[in-house]
């Protein structure tokens, strides 16, 4: 029960925030739920693939799992951008974050139910995972929208690169610092949030300059 609550809390707060601040009525709730469901399914697919091909994905000392996860969870929102169903940068935060949130929801429940963690650690871990996946997926979709607006559609795959780098760096911090007790999940969570806030401020500034 603790695992489920810790997993649901970040997503519940995210949807509540959308409800409170959607002053322009950009949220199409059917699309939001579809992206959330797609994120959950992508989490399941990632689990099945890593379970079957884990030795291949983790060969050579470098895990390819973050690359797989970033590709899977952003598939639907990227398709929406390419089909011009997402036209505004605010929408990239809404739908990209929803897909990432669905992935985080699945991953959190699976991880927390299979590990004996305290309530505080479960909550911090839940929020940290949610921030990572929500931020990475929203960042991919935002960058893809900027690329499309600059008429460089062929460069869309490059929008995945920053999220993959951040995901790899985050996992390294978890494995080398959090796991060894040198860094608390709360600190990593706040650092992850600060990084994404900075990145989105830069991206929105770029988007505004390109639209002028």
Above pLDDT 70, what percent of the chain?
92
What pLDDT is stored for residue 209 in this prediction? 66
pTM: 0.90
User: For the segment 131-173, what is each residue's pLDDT rounded down to a tens digit?
Assistant: 999 999 999 999 999 888 887 767 788 899 999 999 999 999 9
User: For the segment 164-186, what is each residue's pLDDT rounded down to a tens digit?
Assistant: 999 999 999 998 998 888 888 88
Mean pLDDT of the chain, nearest integer: 86
What pLDDT is stored for residue 53 in this prediction? 87
Average pLDDT, stretch 87-115? 88
Is residue 207 very low, low, confident or very high in pLDDT (cuts 50, 70, 90)? low
Is residue 48 very low, low, confident or very high in pLDDT (cuts 50, 70, 90)? very high
SS3 letters across 39-67? HHHHHHHHHHHHHHHHHHHCHHHCCCHHH
């Amino acid at each position: 029960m603790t695992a489920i609550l810790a997993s649901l809390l970040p997503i519940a707060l995210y949807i509540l925030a959308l409800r409170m601040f959607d002053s322009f009525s950009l949220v199409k709730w059917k699309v939001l739920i579809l992206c959330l469901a797609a994120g959950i399914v992508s989490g399941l697919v990632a689990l099945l693939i890593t379970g079957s091909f884990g030795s291949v994905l983790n060969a050579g000392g470098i895990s390819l799992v973050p690359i797989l996860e970033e590709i899977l969870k952003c598939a639907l929102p990227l398709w929406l951008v390419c089909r011009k169903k997402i036209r505004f940068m605010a929408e990239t935060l809404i739908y990209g974050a929803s897909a990432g949130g669905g992935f985080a929801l699945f991953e959190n429940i699976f991880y927390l139910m299979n590990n004996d963690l305290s309530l505080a650690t479960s909550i911090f871990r839940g929020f940290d995972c949610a921030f990572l996946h929500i931020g990475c997926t929203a960042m991919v979709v935002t960058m893809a929208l900027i690329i499309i607006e600059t008429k460089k559609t062929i460069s869309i795959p490059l929008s995945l690169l920053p999220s993959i780098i951040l995901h790899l760096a985050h996992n390294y911090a978890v494995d080398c610092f959090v796991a060894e007790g040198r860094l608390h999940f709360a600190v990593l969570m706040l650092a992850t949030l600060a990084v994404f806030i900075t990145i989105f401020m830069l991206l929105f500034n770029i988007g505004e300059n390109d639209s002028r």
